[in-house]
């Protein structure tokens, strides 16, 4: 059985307070008496304090739901950060970036980078390079042929050039980020957040340069940039 926080209202505090008072004609308990009305009015304050404390315990302590303390969460995790999409405007986007900063463990596979950018609303492709090596590479091999042959180099393509090319990888940004307004507790704010935010991926290079393996270099390719369909970015 899990623990559950129980909220207490002003009436709950009033009943508890009245039960502690002495008994007798001088201590009436009927609702219209001045004593009961005074105790109820005073207890409403404690009900308000209880509710505010419950908000902090149940909502504001969870970074996925926080609203009032979002700026405090961000400050403690070094946000806003230009490399972590710090210019996002909606509350939902700010929470997503906060959760990314808190949970990002890192990785070196292409699947890791593609998945992270997809979670942020960007579609990217990654291409790696390998220098042609005599005795290992075969003329005319494509990446698919190499994989079917069980090659240890995986989805790479051989190139003639300096061996340093193995440390370079190119990233193609295929579509812009379309962030639509969302409702629900962790969504946007009506009258504050826009219906649609169109992002051109300006923070993508900064973010990927931050989390990439230190010995590698990224070449960004925007030649295939497109807007996508009218419903892109929707669940």
Which residue(s) pair with 129 in the sheet? 157
Q: What is the reported pLDDT for 63? A: 92
| 92 in a structural domain | no
**Per-residue model confidence (pLDDT) at position 14:** 93
pLDDT of residue 193: 72
DSSP of the chain, one letter per residue? ---------HHHHHHHHHHTSPPSTTS--STTSHHHHHHHHHHHHHHHHHHHHHHIIIIITSTTT-STTHHHHHHHTT-S-GGGTTT--SHHHHHHHHHHHHH-----SHHHHHHHHHHTT-EEEEEEEEE--TTT--TT--HHHHHHTT-TT-S-EEESS-GGGGGEEEEEEEE-EEEE---STTS--TTTS-SEEEE--TTHHHHHHHHS-TT-EEEEE-TT-B---TTTT--
Question: What was the pLDDT predicted at 20?
Answer: 92
What is the pLDDT, as a whole number, of residue 16? 92
Contact indicator for 193, 180 with CB cutoff of 8 Å = no
Query: So what's the pLDDT on residue 127?
Result: 85
The dihedral through the CA atoms of 65, 70, 72, 75 has a sign that is positive
In a domain, 76, yes or no: no
- Whether the CB-CB separation of 181 and 164 falls below 8 Å is answered with no
Quick one: 52 and 117 in the same domain?
A: no
Residues 55 and 138 in one domain: no
10-residue block means of pLDDT along the chain (235 residues)? 77 92 90 92 93 89 90 91 70 86 86 86 82 71 46 54 79 70 69 66 77 88 61 49
81 falls within a domain: no
Is position 207 within any domain? yes
202 and 142 within one domain: yes
Total Cβ atoms within 10 A of residue 30: 7
Q: Is residue 28 part of a domain?
A: yes
Structural domain range at position 43: 10-60
Instruction: Let me know whether 50 and 139 are in one domain.
Output: no
Are 215 and 119 part of one and the same domain?
yes
Q: Which of 44, 60, 76 is the last residue of a domain?
A: 60
Pairing of strands 123-131, 157-159: parallel
Domain identity same for 133 and 192: yes
CB contact burial 140-159 (16+ within 10 A = b; e otherwise) = ebebeebeeeebebeebebe
Any domain includes 183? yes
Bin 103: left if φ > 0, else alpha if -120 < ψ < 50, else beta.
alpha
pLDDT digit string (tens) for 57-80? Answer: 888 999 998 989 999 999 999 888
- The domain boundary, picked from 24, 45, 60, lies at 60
The Cα–Cα gap between 110 and 113 comes to 5
Per-residue pLDDT at 1: 52
Same-domain check for residues 205 and 123? yes
Q: Is residue 119 domain-shared with residue 200, that is, in the same domain?
A: yes
Domain tally, the chain: 2
pTM attached to this predicted model: 0.61
Indicate whether 94 belongs to any domain: no
Domain for residue 162, yes or no?
yes
């Amino acid at each position: 059985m899990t623990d559950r926080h129980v909220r207490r209202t002003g009436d709950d505090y009033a009943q508890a307070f009245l039960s502690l008072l002495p008994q007798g004609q001088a201590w009436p308990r009927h609702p219209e008496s001045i004593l009961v009305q005074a105790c109820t009015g005073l207890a409403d304050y404690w009900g308000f304090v209880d509710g505010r404390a419950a908000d902090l315990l149940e909502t504001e302590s969870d970074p996925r739901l926080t609203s009032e303390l979002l700026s405090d969460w961000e400050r403690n995790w070094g946000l806003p950060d230009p490399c972590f999409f710090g210019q996002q405007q909606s509350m939902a986007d700010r929470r997503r970036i906060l959760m990314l900063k808190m949970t990002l463990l890192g990785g070196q596979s292409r699947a890791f980078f593609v998945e992270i950018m997809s979670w942020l609303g960007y579609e990217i492709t990654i291409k790696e390079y390998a220098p042609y090596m005599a005795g290992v590479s075969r003329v005319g091999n494509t990446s698919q042929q190499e994989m079917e042959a069980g090659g240890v180099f995986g989805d790479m393509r051989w190139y003639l050039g300096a061996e340093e090319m193995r440390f370079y990888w190119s990233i193609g940004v295929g579509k812009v980020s379309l962030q639509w307004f969302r409702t629900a507790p962790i969504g946007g704010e009506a009258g504050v957040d826009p219906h649609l935010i169109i992002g051109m991926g300006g923070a993508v290079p900064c973010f990927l340069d931050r989390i990439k393996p230190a010995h590698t270099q990224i070449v960004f390719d925007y030649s295939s940039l497109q807007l996508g369909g009218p419903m892109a970015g929707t669940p």
